[in-house]
Structure 1
Amino acid sequence: MVAFSKPTLVEYTCYELGHCWTPSCRQASFDVFKDVFREALKIYGSLYFIAGLLRRRGKAYFRKKFWLELLQSTCFLTVNGTLFIACFCIWRKLVGSFKYVSTISFLPALTASFIAIIQERKSRRGLLAVYMANIATETVWRMLKERGMVRSIHNGEVLLFSVASAVYLYYFKKAALPDGTMSVFKKIFGSEECLSVKEANGNTSNDDRHLKSSSNSEASVITNQKKPYTPVIQWLTNEKQPFIPVIHLLKKFQLWLQNFPKHTLCCHNHSCISHTLQGSIRMFTIGYSIQAVIKLISSLTYIMKRPRTVINALTHKNNREFGAFLATLVGLFRGINCILRRIRNKDDAIHGAVAGFCAGWSMLFYKSQTIALYTASKLVEMIYFKGIEKGSLPYFRNADIILYSLSTAIVFHAAVLEPHSLRPAYWKFLLRVTGNKFANMNRRLLDPFVPNCSKLYPDYWPDYDMRYTNLVKPTS
């Protein structure tokens, strides 16, 4: 990577190198402010609105709290973007020139990020810190790979996700995850796969589990007998419907699967096969729907011009791949747990680790460095806090602020000096929120000091106002 303290003696003004669209430092900061503020309102407005709907927030939230959260997060992102270009100029004037590479990008980004993150709500600082730490980790890896210092491991992101899943699901079986994470895992993998506190301590016998399983099954049968048909089911089972034979066949097939045997230690209501398939089908539907909605939202501008884009968004292969990833993840976890209960004749937290590692390879359907890194980083965070609770690890005050500031500084340092090392999606995000101004920097001036700095834009040369510079575009 570029040495932060390496003397470079880059004798260019901030106009020639950074804000090449205007010679005024104040105007440059104001231009970035307008772009970032406008995009921040769009991003956080849609994010908080959708989150409020999904969480079923009442009218009181949208009348008052929604606007406060929106303005605070918008202020955070706007300050981060605006202060970066402002500190770019300030640090140059303080030092006298861009004598060190760090004064070009790292120190301005560190200063701006520190001031920005303290503007954000405390409840969001941790999430932002972990997210930027993921981006920074991937960026550093790409920078090292660019220099031939590391090599990519085949299916490395899948292996990382599998290891993280093994640890996560081990704690899930022991009911030792944080409350919020535990609630999400129960909805995904099924609460019946989680050991109770008594079972986690090894104090529950097979007979107790058998009685619990039997009582759950009997209660389920009674509930199903008393539960009335919903209007949708009544409409589907109406004899006048043309596809009623298909419905009957599906119901018979479902009953046939449910009648397969299950182990006495299994707490799910029906057979192991039915339990596994039910979870897989449910998660495929959820995964497909989530990815389809994301595709629709990202294609809104194209949909207005070409309505047929809706069909492409709904049938995109990423929808199927993400659905298959979640379906296989849950199906393998449930199925392997049932198999291990039969083989070992007991339920154990170690089953969660084995099943989690095997299930993690479902990422082969939908490879994602982002998901793998985020899962691993959240796992490290969870283990760290568990260490703090036990007194074996120290507690660092304001660690989220420090982590966010350092991570963002690394990412912005790369965005200025070698944007080709950034994750493409994040680079597009930076261009979007700054009105493409990140691309308008004259990186060709830095090529003698930072090799391949202008790799993404080798032919770009700003339209300078010659009253403020003597730079002329090179002929070659």
Structure 2
Amino acid sequence: MVVFGKPTSVPYTCYELGHTWTPSCTKASLGVCLDVFKEAVKIYGSLYLIAGIAKKRGKKYFKQKWLAETSQSTLFLTTNGTLFMAFFCLWRKILGRLYLPSLSFIPAACASFVGILVERASRRGLLAVYMANVATETFYRMAVSRGWVRFLPNGEVLIFSVVMAIYLYLYKRNSLPASTVKLFRFLVGKDELPASVLEEEPMVQNRLSATPGPADENESKMTAVKSVLTWLQNQTKHNLCKHHHSCAYYVLKGFTKMFGLGFLIQGGIKVVSVLPRLIKHPNALMQAVKHRDNFRLAAFLGCFNAVFRAVNCCLRYARNSDSDLHGLLAGFLAGWSMLWYKSITISLYTAFKLAEVLYFKGIEKKLVPYIKCADIIIYAISTAFVFHIAVVEPHNLRPAYWKFLLRVTGNKFALMNRHLIEPFVPGSAKLSPDFWPNYDARYTDLVRPAHLIRS
């Protein structure tokens, strides 16, 4: 059951165990190269296109940078995938035979190190955080499957709540990087920022906090809903609250805005995913709109905003003061909104981003040393670990990431003969218990075991 340790010899060739679709190491690497390249173009071409449109970068970006950025990221992913296959064979030839670590960890580490150097430096940190996230989740899945740790109910929610407590404490202190502050301003609003920050935007603040005129009041009386909203706006608020209208309206407004946004985001994703099936299944569109995941994300974002705002207002009333520490409790309680939309991916990603923020704060205060190329090292080691698990026990990978590996390699990751690894890592073939490659008898004497022969 131990994955790493004393090198264990695996008495098979790279054809028998790895590239079972062809006995040629060169053809195997070139085949993977072509598959990864085609998918990388689709992934990064659409990613940068959507990002460019969303950020309103204009024609200049698409003429001068879009193709260059797409090409560089495509080359990065293609290099990473191709070299993994190449190093898999190369290390066998160097060592004379396969060993458990050289099956995947060492080849993946070499390939990932070279691959990340091809990518733009500005994206290396993001990739390192993402892969560290995947590696941590993978290790947790391994630990649970081996009985090393027990599954913790709502563990991802607890992690997220603790992380949000620290994040929102720093947010109320305005001690986060500008990009992170911008994100939280969007998620929870800017009224919990220090007054000194809000004073930097006097014209915007005045415009947003303008008192409704007679025309607005007359219009609000036209419907019962507007009447209720007007009544809520005019309720009391604590004198330390920076929002313009009442606390009740402040909370309700935040909930409504983020609930609607969450529904649109998840609903949009669901609708786009069913577009290819609309001709044969017209009802798929309505099913996508009404999908329960749309309401779950909406409730998560809406409650996160509302709870954070409500707790801050309540604490101002209870303590008759405002404090950065209010962000700790408000952030922790708001984090439990994830019960609506549980996601270990989101929890771990936010945790690693927080660790990154705290690390750079430590560097600024000279509490921790600056480690040059830390992003490259973290990416290479994390990716090597994940690839190793993808080879020897893919059932412990995040399902979405396993599907991603299959997609970018043209399903070649699934064609490895994991039955040969079963004696060394029990359960390796769990995802494909009936699979046995169609070997070329000229290059191997392996035959399908009796228990895999279908009647």
What interval of TM-score do these two structures reach, taking the shorter chain for normalisation? Answer: over 0.9
Question: How far did residue 219 of structure 1 move?
Answer: 7.3
CA deviation vs aligned residue, 1:86-116 (integer Å, no higher than 9, x gap) = 1100010000001x21100100000100000
Aligned to 2:288: 313
Change (3 A) 1:15 1:140: same
Equivalents in 2 of 1:453, 1:188: separation in Å? 42
Alpha carbons 1:217, 1:270 under 8 Å: kept? no
Q: Does 1:220 align with 2:195?
A: no
Aligned to 1:278: 253
Aligned to 2:227: 252
Aligned to 1:187: 186
Partner letter of residue 383 of structure 1? L
Question: How far did residue 292 of structure 1 move?
Answer: 1.3
Q: Does 1:470 align with 2:445?
A: yes
Question: How far did residue 7 of structure 1 move?
Answer: 3.3
Equivalents in 1 of 2:320, 2:236: separation in Å? 15
Question: How far did residue 295 of structure 1 move?
Answer: 1.8
Partner letter of residue 20 of structure 1? T
1:354 to 311, 314, 329: 329
Question: How far did residue 472 of structure 1 move?
Answer: 0.4
Question: How far did residue 129 of structure 1 move?
Answer: 0.3
Aligned to 1:203: none
CA deviation vs aligned residue, 1:348-385 (integer Å, no higher than 9, x gap) = 00111111111111011111100111111111111111
Correspondence 1:147-166 to 2 at 5 A: 147-166=146-165
Aligned to 2:48: 48
1:267 to 219, 228, 242: 242
Aligned to 1:78: 78
1:456 to 408, 417, 431: 431
Task: Give the secondary structure class of the aligned counterpart of 1:150.
Answer: coil
Equivalents in 2 of 1:294, 1:17: separation in Å? 38
CA deviation vs aligned residue, 1:162-186 (integer Å, no higher than 9, x gap) = 0000000000001111010011111
Partner letter of residue 221 of structure 1? A
Aligned to 2:145: 146
Change (3 A) 1:71 1:156: same
2:381 to 406, 424, 433: 406
Aligned to 2:68: 68
Question: How far did residue 145 of structure 1 move?
Answer: 1.2
Alpha carbons 1:257, 1:274 under 8 Å: kept? yes
Partner letter of residue 363 of structure 1? M
Change (3 A) 1:189 1:64: same
Equivalents in 1 of 2:422, 2:136: separation in Å? 24
TM-score (norm 1): 0.90
Task: Give the secondary structure class of the aligned counterpart of 2:107.
Answer: helix
CA deviation vs aligned residue, 1:283-315 (integer Å, no higher than 9, x gap) = 001111111122233334334543432222221
Question: How far did residue 188 of structure 1 move?
Answer: 1.7
Gaps of 5+ in 1: 200-208, 230-236, 238-243
Equivalents in 2 of 1:21, 1:217: separation in Å? 68
Equivalents in 1 of 2:37, 2:371: separation in Å? 32
Partner letter of residue 139 of structure 1? T
CA deviation vs aligned residue, 1:367-418 (integer Å, no higher than 9, x gap) = 1100111111111111111001000001100000000000000000000000
> What is the Cα-based RMSD across aligned positions, in Å?
2.2
Task: Give the secondary structure class of the aligned counterpart of 1:7.
Answer: coil
Change (3 A) 1:300 1:126: farther
Task: Give the secondary structure class of the aligned counterpart of 2:8.
Answer: strand
Question: How far did residue 250 of structure 1 move?
Answer: 1.6
Matched-pair identity in %: 55
Q: Does 1:344 align with 2:319?
A: yes
Change (3 A) 1:303 1:407: farther
Equivalents in 2 of 1:157, 1:311: separation in Å? 31
Alpha carbons 1:88, 1:108 under 8 Å: kept? yes
Aligned to 2:29: 29
Alpha carbons 1:28, 1:85 under 8 Å: kept? yes
Aligned to 1:206: none
Partner letter of residue 266 of structure 1? C
Alpha carbons 1:216, 1:269 under 8 Å: kept? no
Task: Give the secondary structure class of the aligned counterpart of 2:357.
Answer: helix
Question: How far did residue 192 of structure 1 move?
Answer: 1.1
TM-score (norm 2): 0.94
Partner letter of residue 57 of structure 2? R
Equivalents in 2 of 1:454, 1:219: separation in Å? 60
Alpha carbons 1:175, 1:196 under 8 Å: kept? no
Alpha carbons 2:17, 2:420 under 8 Å: kept? yes
Aligned to 1:377: 352
Question: How far did residue 217 of structure 1 move?
Answer: 7.5
Task: Give the secondary structure class of the aligned counterpart of 1:105.
Answer: helix
Equivalents in 2 of 1:297, 1:401: separation in Å? 35
